[in-house]
Structure 1
């Protein structure tokens, strides 16, 4: 394998047996993609009935459903590679085995969905918008992936992602351009999100192999593309563009997580644990 400029493409899972290092890097990337969408879709589902208005309730629910569907596509690719049943990969793995970014597992705010939820809409808008733009950057890169099944999935996801990104961008622009408390809370949310946003753009310990094998562009390239996409939005809103991509609580790509993820998995996998053979 010679990187992203190589003409070589792997078109079928069975071909991976010839390239064990390639397969290892691919599996790591797929878990990152799947686990990101899986946990963020769950956090989105917790807003059902709590969004600012009924139209947003419907729209956010649809976005979360799409996002969970994207996670399912990635888990299915992992199943085809021989990593186990997609349902088991989604629900049966411990927090330490997950590869999602820490930012995405963080709770929506104080309280619990069933007990005095006091969720932070500003944080939700910023997290989802910043993530949607990072996801768009990754998807655009994955459309040229050397593993053809993943490239095809990226093309499918891109069609839905366009609407997700437009939705969150609209919320972001409206709230940061508002006066008073709304703008102040959005600025605070931006600072909070950026404390861990470096983890979203990270490729983890096997990132160099992913790039070498032509699976995805480098962290540096992905980060620069994210910055270029976001810069005009920040300038129009008279906001300072973040210049630090931190991972204050660790790197989820390497299995570092918080108790928020453990409690989320416990809730998500409750039905699975009752009947592991049930269809997800």
Structure 2
């Protein structure tokens, strides 16, 4: 069922639904929940991966800045989980901590460990990978957020507006790191290029909407994968040009599509760690 109403030549107005109206349409509700799981799980797992850098970032100022970004990102995940709770999907805490890896909908790229070792024991993390992953993800997230400002689901549209205000600073932070390291030459440039190859091998998963993508788009919840990919390339092309790098033309998913429940052992280990406090005391607030 389309909810597009046309007002004048070339203009489109999308009718907004509230939670009660969404629950009246099973197909709409299922598509909405699927998208919300993707959004929430992406932010949830990447906020955790970012938090592992606490005390390990290149300098103390970056420790503070990165921690702030991770707190914001976890807050965004909580917003999406709250929208799912409002749809009757379960409590926010349970959605974050009880679901199995197979039930998660995050992109595989975001669950990948920062590097060998553990953040508490002999971590051998790759800062170049962290910069590229967070920058490319934040740019993709901004594209999605801009699209969802026009979402047919009113609460999601309003949430997108709130998140957008914080994303400007996140994107600027990672853009600065990306350009400085790429233009530094030598080992910095070499390691950044290696990180770009690793990130792009699974970058398609970030802009994927999974097996239910057609229904998500049909219900005007977000733009299509093709449109999202095109906008990401348009947004990133000036930055790639500034560092003398060719913009990627393909969006592969080397290790599979996390939107469809395909994941790695990295996610299993991360979820186990993230849920330790909750499972010790389910009444605790995360």
| TM-score between the two structures when normalised by the length of structure 1 | 0.98
Q: Which of the residues 54, 73, 84 maps onto 1:78?
A: 84
Q: Which of the residues 87, 95, 106 maps onto 1:100?
A: 106
Residue 277 of structure 1 and its aligned partner are, at CA, apart by: 2.3
Contact 2:23 2:87 in 1 (8 A): no
> Cα distance 1:115–1:7, how it changes in 2: closer, same or farther (>3 A)?
closer
1:47 matches 2:53: yes
Q: Distance in 1 between matches of 2:251 and 2:165?
A: 28
Q: What is the aligned partner in structure 1 of residue 238 from structure 2?
A: 232
Q: Which of the residues 197, 205, 211 maps onto 1:205?
A: 211
1:1-280 counterparts in 2 under 5 A? 1-2=1-2, 5=12, 7-11=14-18, 13-280=19-286
SS in structure 2 at match of 1:115: coil
Gaps of 5+ in 2: 5-11
Residue 278 of structure 1 and its aligned partner are, at CA, apart by: 1.9
Contact 1:102 1:258 in 2 (8 A): yes
Report the more deviating stretch, 237-246 or 88-97: 237-246
Gaps of 5+ in 1: none
Residue 3 of structure 1 and its aligned partner are, at CA, apart by: 5.2
SS in structure 1 at match of 2:167: helix
> RMSD between aligned alpha carbons?
0.9
Spell out, residue by residue over 1:143-176, the C-alpha distance to the aligned partner (whole angstroms, 9 max, x if none): 0000000000000000001000000000000000
Q: Distance in 2 between matches of 1:37 and 1:240?
A: 28
Residue 7 of structure 1 and its aligned partner are, at CA, apart by: 3.5
| TM-score between the two structures when normalised by the length of structure 2 | 0.96
Contact 2:132 2:195 in 1 (8 A): yes
Report the more deviating stretch, 252-261 or 268-277: 268-277
Residue 17 of structure 1 and its aligned partner are, at CA, apart by: 2.6
Residue 8 of structure 1 and its aligned partner are, at CA, apart by: 2.1
